[in-house]
Every structure is written in structure tokens, then in C-alpha cells.
Chain A
Amino acid sequence: MDIQYYLILSALLFVVGAAGVILRKNIIAIFLCIELMLNAVNLSFISFSRYLNQVHGQIFVFFVMVVAAAEAAVGLAITIALYRHRGSLNVDDADLMKW
């Protein structure tokens, strides 16, 4: 079983996610893209775990999933708060943190 197919798929998913983070304006879409990047990384962890016959990678994946769940909870809360204040989900409208 070749590992490179999994890694290529993981890389593709990561690039799609990163491109989405940079290019999309909708905050929900950016969120989804971040999840996509996290899961791309998870995929490569699992692949290496299987390839090297070690359990470390799987443990890391659990950690990532826990953090991702927490991050989703906080992130969505921020999103809702932002929408209430600004009436918009466009990230370019939330640019107060600058010079």
C-alpha cells in the first residue's frame, strides 16, 4: 500500500482549505475551510501512523479533533456576536484591529 496517494490527497485538501481561508469572504465559509485544513492534517497523521505502524499519529488526531471542537464552539460564538453587532458575515467588515 503506497502512502503517497494519501499524502497527495491530504495536500490537496490542505491547499483547497488554505485557498478558501484566503479567498472567501464569508466567515462561515472560512470556518469550514479551516476545518478542512485541520482534517487534511489529520489524514496525513493517520497515514503516517499506519505506514510506520505506530500509534502516536492516532493520538494526535484525537487531540486535534478535541481542539477543533472547542475552536468551533468559540468561533461560532464569536461569529454570532459579530453578526449581532455588525449585521454582516463579511470578514472584511471586521477590520478594527489596525493602525
Chain B
Amino acid sequence: MATDRTPEMEEEIAALVVAAREGDREAFDELVRRTYVDTYTLAVRLTANEEDARDVVQEAYLRAWKGIGRFRGDAQFTTWLYRITANASYTLVQKRRRRRTEPLETAAEPVELRPEAQPEAAAESAVVMAQLSDAVAQLPPKLRSIVVLKDVYGLSHDDIAQELGISVAAAKVRLHRGRKKLRDILFEEQGRSAHAV
């Protein structure tokens, strides 16, 4: 289950990663159990579609299992998994875009699984956060993926560019456009309702 991880939990994850790299499937299954809510949340934010997000989660863990031997441990496992999830999501969104033309569904309302462990998040009202989630889901996929990976998950421009197959300069331009567009969506909403970020 996803939580804000303590240093002890991070150590346990690191030990599981070491075992998984040696081919221990049970250790990898335990890594899946500990991280799948986090991975699913990122997948929903990137795809703005719950069904696609489920496919992305499965694909991400299959890729992670195949590639765990190449994970050198120079980054956190979760960061490595975010990058794989971003890449799997990008592949799926591209594939879906070729197949259908209807707009993407709006992302699900966020559910706080452990609100007591999130004092900062609790400070902002659930309504505002739901409004923000909706606004992010309204961004065009190319801009949304950059805003989510950089401003929500804190990935570097280099990592984002590599996983999305674009240049660092293009990633920066898209971030700029994405923030501007998100600001417009949010504050146009503000004009129509009393709530705003």
C-alpha cells in the first residue's frame, strides 16, 4: 500500500530490490505490493483514464521485472519505476491515439488513503485538489505528461526527455506551455466558481 515511506521502509525496499535482481520472484512480488498504488496513481495522472492506467501498471511491472537486472541502484527504485511507468504510459497513449478520436475521460477523484499521514495535503481542501486533478486531466497528453512528471513527481528534465523520446529543450518548452495552459484552465474555472487553487 502506498504511504510516505520512512527510511526503514526504504531500506526494506532496497533489500527487496537486491533480492529481485538476483532473480527472486517473491521479492519482486513484494515490491509490487508495496508500490502498485503509487504506480497506479501516476498512471492515472498520465493517461487520465482508469482503464488505460491499469494496462500501464501491468506493462510497467512486466518491463521492470525484465529490466531489474539492469537497475544499478544509483537512483531510488521508485524513481526508476516512475520512469518505466512514464515510458509505458507514453507508448500506450500513442497507441490509443491512433485507434480512437474521442476525448480522454476525466481522471478519477483523488482518494486519500492515509490522510493522517499527509498533513500538508490535508491543508488544501479536497475540493481544490479535485479541481486541480480535473484541470491536469484536461491538458493535452503531451503537456500533461511533462507537468505531471516534473511538477508533481519531481523528475529531472533529462529523465523526462529520455523516457518520452524528446529533447531536453522540447521538454522545457512543453513544461512552459503546460504550466501556462494549466494556469488558464484553473483560473478560468475560478471565474466560473468560487473555488480555485
Q: Do A and B come from the same complex?
A: no
Q: Which residues of B contact A (CB under 8 A)?
A: none
Q: Which residues of A contact B (CB under 8 A)?
A: none
